[in-house]
A and B are shown apart, each in its own frame.
Chain A
Amino acid sequence: MKSELVSRQKKQSTASITKWVLIGSALSFLGIFILVPLIAVFTEALKKGVELYFLALTEPEALSAIKLTMITAAIAVPLNTLFGLIAAWAITKFEFKGKNMLITLIDIPFAVSPVIAGLVFVLLFGAQGVFGPLLAAYNIKIIFAVPGIVIATIFITFPFVVRELIPIMQEQGSEEELAALTLGASGWQMFRKVTLPNIKWGVLYGVILCNARAMGEFGAVSVVSGHIRGLTNTLPLHVEILYNEYNFTAAFACASLLAILALFTLFLKTIVEKAGG
């Protein structure tokens, strides 16, 4: 009896040791790799005073970078939301040949290195590229200009909304939609009154993640941008330039903006997750 009790206590104490070791290592990992860098960004940014921090953010080149970043996101995010809805709808509501192929293709932007993605667009639209002569003939600039940045960003952020929607729509099936049709709804009424309300939190979640990536994308944009100051620099590219010029305070000030964006995204994400149940 007694020995049984002792062995049970022993078992419990080993279980609790395992628990604390696991929790402890998870927390210290998070601390070292996420919390410390985050703090470092803000301390570096504010090292030489608040005044210099804001000066770094309000100089014309920084403002132009912020503006370009926002324009890019403002184009890429709505387009990817629309494409995402269409693709998720097609994949979950219809049976067709090449469906699995399509699902695989959607994941390509996640699987391919962003630098390669950028290079592909240079090879397509650059001066020596496939469509280079054609574009030159009509005097359209894509590479080393804003359109290139937008295209690269759309490519990189395409999967976010679709990936979010496919499982939700698969789980819901199409019975509610069919019920709407039998009740006399048109296709558009069905989408607006039945489908959209059911997936709205999923859409919002996808949009938030898509936006965060659109604003933060570096690799692909770096290849197609050409780093022309005040013209084709997005915020992440601007940070890199400042850093390479040993202008650490300004670099970290701009980086802190991106960090704030990330924190804000996480905050929104949590709220949306809660609201969507």
Chain B
Amino acid sequence: MKSVMACQGISKSYGAGDILERVLKRVDLELFEGQASVLVGPSGSGKTTLLSILGCLLAPSEGQLLIADQTVNFSDKSSLTEVRRKKLGFIFQHAQLLPFLTIEENLAIVGRNAGMEDMDIKQRLDGLLQRLELKVMRYKYPAQLSGGQRQRVAIARALLHRPSIVLADEPTAALDWNTGKTVVELLLEQARLEKAVLVVVTHDTRMLPLFDRILTIADGLLSEQRQTAAVENTFYTQP
């Protein structure tokens, strides 16, 4: 399988001297095309920090991040923005759609920002709205949608510009179990269809069997578990 993203000895510390806090400790990780990984761990274990580094939003204190075999230059904000613009898709806990734009506009601006042609955006938008059963919501505003529908729009937004990596931060936290499961299943289905790397942070252990890889983080140390071992583990916060 083709390697899309790799962490090499990534550490992250906050503070200095006596109050130095090491949130991530030498994380090594390789993520492959079309592979869906779930990142689990107790609160404060470093999940969001790792996701922020993978999303080129936070610079590591040590180590390096490679995307498509290119080392990410965290000191150049403009190049970080370019990586996010072209190669990354994000899904946030509360969808974070722009409330003053319709669903169509929320999606279209991402395509335009990524430099897609208008015709390409339209075709892509039509396809995603169809696949995610959002066609009738096209001209509605986020406030007119349910939480599940908003997360489906967020999935469409994350995939619209064909990113090679999709990162999701607790996309089901604000949803009930059935809606959350549907959203994750849709996300997995679409990411696989697009052959994108998918990394999802979640607290909900019931979601784990849906993913290809289960990554566990505790006290800043990353490890990988087999499906059965992960499901039986008890330190996760139950939803």
Are A and B interaction partners?
no
B interface list, Cβ under 8 A from A:
none
